[in-house]
Structure 1
C-alpha cells in the first residue's frame, strides 16, 4: 500500500482553529472555529485530531529534534563535537536549561497534550456522544495521542506539570509538578480507553493513525518503563518493589496475549531489509508497523522530517545540474550521526540486520554523478533510512526534509517486550522462544543451552557486561536481550530508555566509550561516557524560560541542572 499523508487534509482550517485557540489565552478566540462552536460534526472532530498529529509531526519535534533526545547511547553518537546549545550539547550530555532544542521539545509536547485535552473535551460535549461509537473511537484516538506525549514527558523530565483539561486562560496555563506515578495512572487510563474503543488494524488500514493494536503495544512499553529504574527529584535512581514489578510485567503479558489473539500483526512479509527500504520508499504496511509518525514536505515550507537525511549515510549535494534533472539524483544527506563501530563485529555474518543498521559507505559527487565510497570504522552511519532508497518523486524534493515516516511501534519490538516480561515472571523458556523468533527472521542463529557461550564469545572477549549477571537462566536471558534489542532496534529511539530503565546507561556508555577505537585519540568524537553524570543526565533539564515563567515550579529544575 503506497503512503498517503493524513496531516494536511484540512491544514488551512486547522491553522485558523488552533492559532485562534492558542495564541491569546486571555481572550475569547474570535475565530468561527473556536472550541465552543467547532465540535459540531464528526468531520470537525476528526480535523481536531489531525491537529494533535500535526504537533507530533512538526519538524522541530519528531521530524528532527527528537533525534538528539535519543542519542548518545551505546550504539551511536554525533559526528560533530563542540558546543552549540542545540544538538551537540544534547547528544554529548552537556545540555543546559537554555538549550533551544529542549525548549522546543517541551513546548511541542505540551502543545499536543493541550490540543488533545481540548479535543477530548469537545468530543465529550457533542450531541449524541453517549450513543455514538464513532465519537468514542475519535476520543480513543485523542486519548492515545495524549498518552503518547505524556509518556514522553515522564521519560524525558520525570515529575512535570500535567493536567487533562484545556488551558483556556492564562491563570490555568501553569501548574506545579505532578508525581510521575499519577501521570502513569492517567496514561494507562487513556490507553485502556483507547484499546476499548479503537478497531484493530487490517491490511487496508494505515499505521499513521492509532489502532487498538497501537494502544496495546504502547501500554506494553509503558508498563515496562514503569517497572524499571527512573531518576527521582533527589538524584536517586529507584524502581518499584518486586511485587509491584511482577504485577507490571503481568500487565505487559495481558496486552501481548490480546495482540496474539487478534492475530493480524506480525513480521513484515518481505524481510528485514525490505522493511526498512519500504519506510524510505513511503510504502505503508500495518502488519509490522503498528504505529508510524507521518511526515510530508510541502514545497516552500520547513515541514517534513529528516529521517534518512540527517541520520543516514552522507550523500553529497548534486551541483551543476538543471532543475529538470534533479529527480535523477538523490539530493543531499548530511550524515550527522555515526555508529559505534564495534557493534558491527557482534552481528553474525548471516544476520540481515548488520548491513541494514550499519552503513559503511557514503556518496560523493563528481563529474555529474554520485559515486559510492567505502568508509573506515569510525565513519560509518546509521543505515535504516537512506536517501538512495527514497523514490524519485521524494528523494530530491528538498535538501533538508523529506517524507519518510518514523515507525515508533514495531511488531519486533513488541515481541521482545513480551519476551522480557516472560523472563521476569519466571517463564524463561517462552522468553527464549520469542527472542529466537526475532533472530530467525533476521537470519541469525537461534540461542540454545548448547550454543549460548559460543554465540556470546566474541562479545564477552572485548565487551563483557559486568553490570548484568548471567549466572542463572534469567541472567543469561537478560544478557542476550541487552544485545538483541541493540541488534534489532538500534537508532529507532528506544535504546537509551531501555538502558535507563535497566539502570545501566552510565555503565554501557563507559564500557563502549572507553573501548571504542574512535576514542583512541586526543580528540574523542564519542565523549558521552566522560560527560555523563549519574543522577543528572537520565533526565533533561526543564527549559529555563519555563522555570522563570511558572511560579509553581518554585524555581527548581531537575537534579543537577
Structure 2
C-alpha cells in the first residue's frame, strides 16, 4: 500500500511504539508527565504533537461515522431491534444513553483538546513568528480543530467550546456556546490554515491537510451555516438573506481559488476506478482532498478501520486454515443496506449506479474452496457498494479489519458546492455548467431545460413536491437534490444536506412510503416513520455529560 510517512507515524503512535513523552503529553492528565514548556523544545516534538491531533480521526471514522450520518434517503442500518448504537441512530429511536453518540462526543472533544495543546505549545516556541514550518504545523492543527468543531455543531448545535487546553477533566466543564460563535472560530481556523498550508501536488498525500482541503472544508462549513438548523428553543431557522448571500459569495471565492491553482480535478481514470482505488489503498491527491488514514500492522493494533466490512457487500467468512489468510478475502459483515430504489433512478450508462448500489454478496463454497458471487434478488438485501472486499489486495490480517482510508472530502463535492452557491446568487447558468461537469465524468446525460422533466420527474425519479421547481433556480435545486445523492451517497454529507435544505422529514417520508425496503409485514427502513421534526435534526447530549457538567444545567437538546 502506498502510504506516506505521516501514515506510519500515526500507526506507530497508536501502537505505543513512539517516544513515550509524546504519548504522555496527550493523556487526559499530561501535567503528571511533561509540561508543555518541557515538551515543545524542537520541531520533531512539535510535529509529534500535531500527529497526536490526527490520531483521533481513526477512532471516530473507523466505525461511528458510518452510522452517525445514517439514515438519510440513501442508506440505513440493517436490523430493527434496539442496539443502543447504530440501529437506534439510523432508525431515529435513539436516546441520550446511546453509546455511539457518547463515544463521538468524547472523541471530538478529545481531538479539540489535543489541537488546543498543539497550537498553544507550538505558538509558544522560540521564533514561531518567523518560522514557516512551525506555522504550517499550527495550520494543520487548526484545520483539524475546525473539522472536529464542525462535527460538534452539526451533531449537537450549541455546545461547550473553548480554544485553550484543559489539563484536567474539571477544566473542560463549560456552558453552551452559541453555534454562531463556534462557526466564527471554525472559519478563523480555516482561514489561517489555507494561508499557511501549501496546495497539494502530484507528490502529496491526501492523508495530510493541504490548502485545498482547508478551502474545501470552509466551503462545506459556509453552506451548512447558510442553511436551516434546529435551535435550542425548538425552532428551525436559517440566517437572514443578506448573511446567506455573504456565505454563498464566500463559497464562490474559494472556488475561484481552486480554479486559479488548477491542480485538483476529477480522478483521471473515472468514477469506478476512483472507488476501487480507495479500497486498494491508492493515494491520489487530485480528486481526494483529505482522507482519514487507516493501517493496522497485524489486524489487532494500530489504526483499525472497517470500510468495506461494516459498510459494503456481505462476504462470508472463509473456511480456511489460519495459515492461508494471505490467499483469500476476509469477512464483511455488511451492517448497512442501500435504499434500493436508487438503482432505477440512475441512467443505465451512469458509471455511479453500480458503484453506489451493490446487488450481490459472496458466499463461501466448500466444494471449490473459494468465495462465490451470488446475486441478491431482493432489493432489501442490496448494499452500499463504494467500499468492497473484492477490490482490496487479496489476503487479510484480521477477518473484519481493513486498511481502507475514508475520503473525507473530494473534488466532485467541491464542484457541486460551488454550483449550489452560484445558483443561490442568481447565476444559475454557471451552476448548471458545474453540475453537468460532474455528470459528464460519470457518463450521464447533460441536464437541460428540454430534458429536465424526462430525467428528473416521475416516472424516472420521484416528484419532489417539497421543492418548488417553478423557475430555473428551483429546477436546479431539484437537480442538485438528485445529483448530490448520485455522486456522494454514504460519504457522510447527505443527511446534513437534507437538514440544511430544511427537507429531511419530507425526504425520509417520501422514501419510507415508496421503498421496497418496507413491506406490509416488515419495516426494514423505518426512518421516515420515526423521524420527528424539531428533535432528530440534532443528537442528544450524552447522559454522562449532562450528569458531570453542571454548567449544562441538565438541559438536553429539544425534545430529548
TM-score normalised by structure 1 residue count = 0.96
User: Aligned partners of 1:329 and 1:459: how far apart in 2?
Assistant: 43
Instruction: Give the match's secondary structure for 2:484.
Output: helix
Query: What secondary structure sits across from 1:518 in the alignment?
Result: coil
Please give the per-residue CA displacement for 1:458-477, whole angstroms capped at 9, x wherever unaligned: 456x6210110100000000
Indicate whether 1:381 and 2:383 are aligned: yes
> Which residue of structure 2 lines up, in the alignment, with residue 412 of structure 1?
412
Aligned to 1:261: 260
- Counting only pairs closer than 5 Å after superposition, residues 98-497 of structure 1 correspond to structure 2 as 98-299=97-298, 300-301=300-301, 303-319=303-319, 321-367=320-366, 368-376=369-377, 377-392=379-394, 395-459=395-459, 463-497=462-496
Structure 1 CA distance for aligned equivalents of residues 88 and 501 of structure 2: 24
Conserved in 2, the CA contact under 8 Å of 1:140 and 1:198? Answer: yes
Q: 1:206 to 1:253 in 2, by over 3 A?
A: same
Task: Report if the CA contact (8 A) 2:295-2:302 is conserved.
Answer: no
Separation (CA, whole Å) in 2 of partners of 1:104 and 1:232: 23
CA displacement at 1:114 relative to structure 2 = 0.1
Q: Is the 8 A contact 1:89 1:95 kept in 2?
A: yes
TM-fit CA distance, 1:12:
3.1
**Structure 1 CA distance, aligned partners of 2:444 and 2:431?**
17
Taking the aligned partners of 2:277 and 2:20, their CA distance within structure 1 comes to 31
Is the Cα contact below 8 Å between 1:467 and 1:504 reproduced in 2?
yes
Question: Which sits farther off after the overlay, 41-50 or 548-557?
Answer: 41-50
Equivalent-residue separation in structure 2 for 1:254 and 1:215 (angstroms): 13
CA contact (8 A) 2:28 2:168 kept: no
Query: 1:22 corresponds to which residue?
Result: 27
Secondary structure of 2:307's partner? coil
Quick one: distance in 2 between partners of 1:434 and 1:536? 35
Deviation at 1:97, TM superposition (A): 0.7
Offset, 1:17: 3.2
Question: Which secondary structure state, in structure 2, belongs to the residue aligned with residue 235 of structure 1?
Answer: coil
Contact 1:296-1:403 at 8 Å conserved across structures: yes
Matched residue SS, 2:517: helix
Q: 1:22 is paired with a residue of what secondary structure? A: coil
Structure 2 spans left out of the alignment, 5+ residues: none
How many residues matched? 551
Q: Matches of 1:548 and 1:493 in 2, distance apart?
A: 30
Structure 2 Cα separation of the partners of residues 325 and 482 of structure 1? 46
SS of residue in 1 equivalent to 2:362? strand
Once the two structures are overlaid, the 10-residue window that deviates more, 185-194 or 397-406, is: 397-406
1:413, distance to aligned residue in structure 2 (A): 0.4
Matches of 1:409 and 1:303, distance apart in 2: 20
Give how far 1:450 is off: 1.4
SS of the counterpart of 1:541? coil
Distance 1:522 1:417, change over 3 A: same
On the 8 A contact 1:218/1:409 being kept in 2, the answer is yes
- The secondary structure found in structure 2 opposite 1:70 is coil
Contact 2:11/2:303, CA 8 A, preserved across alignment: no
CA distance in 2, matches of 1:241, 1:137: 36
1:404-462 residue CA offsets vs partner (Å, 9 max, x unmatched): 001011000000000000000000000000000000000000011211111124456x6
Q: CA deviation at 1:84?
A: 1.1
| Structure 2 Cα separation of the partners of residues 456 and 523 of structure 1 | 30
Other-structure match for 2:17: 12
CA deviations 1:363-391 (Å, max 9, x no partner) are: 00022211100012121100000000001
CA distance in 2, matches of 1:435, 1:516: 27
How far off is 1:521 after superposition? 2.5
Tell me the SS of whatever aligns to 2:222: helix
In structure 1, stretches of 5+ residues that fail to align are none
Structure 2 length normalisation: TM-score? Answer: 0.96
What is the CA deviation profile of residues 501-548 of structure 1, one whole-angstrom value per residue up to 9, with x for unaligned ones?
A: 000111000000111112123220101111111000000011110000
Q: Is the 8 A contact 2:96 2:543 kept in 1?
A: yes
The change in CA–CA distance for 1:151 and 1:216 in structure 2 (over 3 A counts) is same
Partner of 2:542: 543
Please say which of residues 514-523 and 360-369 is displaced more in the overlay. 514-523
CA change 1:418–1:474 in 2 (3 A) is same
Name which of structure 1's ranges 95-104 and 517-526 shifts more when overlaid on structure 2: 517-526
- Aligned-pair CA distance for 1:297: 1.7
Distance 1:219 1:457 in 2: 33
Between stretches 135-144 and 5-14, larger displacement belongs to: 5-14
State the distance in 1 between where 2:470 and 2:251 align.
Answer: 26
